[in-house]
Amino acid sequence: MPEQNSQARPQTLARPLSRAQGIRLIAQREVSTTVRSKAFVWSFIIMLVVIAVGILAQGFIGRFMEAMVVAEDDTVVASTIDVSQIADASEDSGITFESAASAEAALDAVRDGQAQVALVSGPEAAALDGLFDAEGSALDTTDYGQLPFVLIGEEAVPNSVVNLLTIAPGQGFLEAGGSQEFMTLFLLSTVFALIYFLSIMMFSQRIAQTVIEEKASRIVELLLSTVKPTTVLAGKIIGGTVLAVGEVAAIVIVALACFAITGQTGMLDLLGPSMIWFVVLFIVGFILFASLYAALSATVSRPEDVASVTSPLSMLVMIPYFLIVFANQNEAVMTWLSYIPFSSPVALPVRMFSAGVAWWEPFLALAILLVTVVGALWVAGRIYENSVLRTGPKVKLKDALRGS
């Protein structure tokens, strides 16, 4: 009897892990081993520092240039209305209001360089044509008829004039200011695309390396004696996704802090919707690539073969990256890229900032991406399950899918 009890006790303790427990443990292992890597920690810190320095430099340089312009000469405002009731003008403000006979005369003064900005009433602005908004698009001035007054500059309106007025004015511009918009759009496209590209290359490649390391060292055989192959795959994908999302969250926090420090809070209003949808689509898009990287790496047995077998996936990341960065002003190209699952996490947020999109477009892009991810997870599960225990030559995809 004692012998029977001693044999029964291990059987009771050696219960198989549930699927949820297995996924959690494998995901924790993926996260813990990665964050303990010095290379990962230092590359992550350097990336945050570069982003912070870029935002801070942009803000401080902008303030410096504005201060230089203000110091160079007083600001002259050609006004068609009485400013005594709407402006806190003082002798030391550096702003001079000069009377203009009409709205057209005020605009002519701006064009001729006699004034830096025109101040006209809302109804006068509503009757004007050929004005542009801050993004360089043609401005519909009909709504300005409801405003008390409007400021019109050549390519910009000095903040000192806006701050001097007791009521926030409408704004318009005589020139489209396309060069500034192009630079802002180029920088936004580059930052979004670079974050997406580096996150996939860093964390998806990390998943691929752990798959082949576990396969070569036969650790995967121990894992599969306790949990199913799809459980191992799910844990790796979730662990990699947690790391990637944590990286993006840290970048967003650093960016928000730097914008607040430099007083660039207006950028948050412009970038807010784009940043939210970028994070949402980024999470789903990363799962797509992580599952495919893990599956394809399971078809080989040597670490040196991982790069060749995953090279098609690298191309699926790099091609959209270059298209988005260098074709961000081509509306037709960006529209198509917004619905292609491999590029939509970056293309759609950029379009939201540059040209605006219909309310349903982000949801459609997300739906297409989700359907693609579901299909990719099924394919990845089949490939991983039928390949991870095979050694020797590369497993052909058709054999991995059929399980033969």
Per-residue pLDDT of the chain (404 residues; tens, 9 = 90+): 444 443 333 344 345 678 889 899 999 999 998 899 888 889 889 989 988 888 888 767 666 555 555 444 578 888 888 877 666 655 556 788 888 888 899 888 888 888 888 899 888 888 888 887 765 667 777 778 778 888 888 877 777 777 777 777 777 777 765 545 566 677 778 888 888 998 898 899 889 999 998 888 888 888 888 889 999 999 999 999 999 999 889 988 998 888 888 776 666 666 778 889 999 999 999 999 999 999 999 999 888 888 899 999 999 999 988 998 888 888 889 999 999 999 999 999 998 887 668 889 999 999 999 999 999 999 999 999 999 888 888 889 888 888 65
**Quick one: 365 exposed, middle or buried, by C-beta within 10 A (0-12, 13-18, 19+)?**
buried
Which residue, chain included where needed, has tokens 């001035």? Answer: 141
Name the amino acid, one letter, at 353.
Answer: F
- pLDDT, residue 183, reads 66
CB 208 within 8 A of CB 295: no
Facing residues of 77 across strands?
Answer: 97, 117
Which residue, chain included where needed, has tokens 């340089």? Answer: 61
CB 214 within 8 A of CB 222: no
CB 314 within 8 A of CB 293: no
- pLDDT, residue 266, reads 62
- pLDDT, residue 291, reads 95
- From CA 233, how far away is CA 217, in angstroms rounded? 17
Return phi, psi of residue 173, to 5°. Answer: -140, 145
Check residue 77 and give left, alpha or beta (phi > 0: left; psi -120 to 50: alpha). Answer: beta
Report which DSSP code applies to 65.
Answer: H
- pLDDT, residue 10, reads 37
Facing residues of 282 across strands?
Answer: none
- From CA 404, how far away is CA 205, in angstroms rounded? 27
- pLDDT, residue 5, reads 41
- From CA 89, how far away is CA 79, in angstroms rounded? 13
pTM exceeds cut of 0.85: no
121 in helix, strand or coil?
Answer: strand
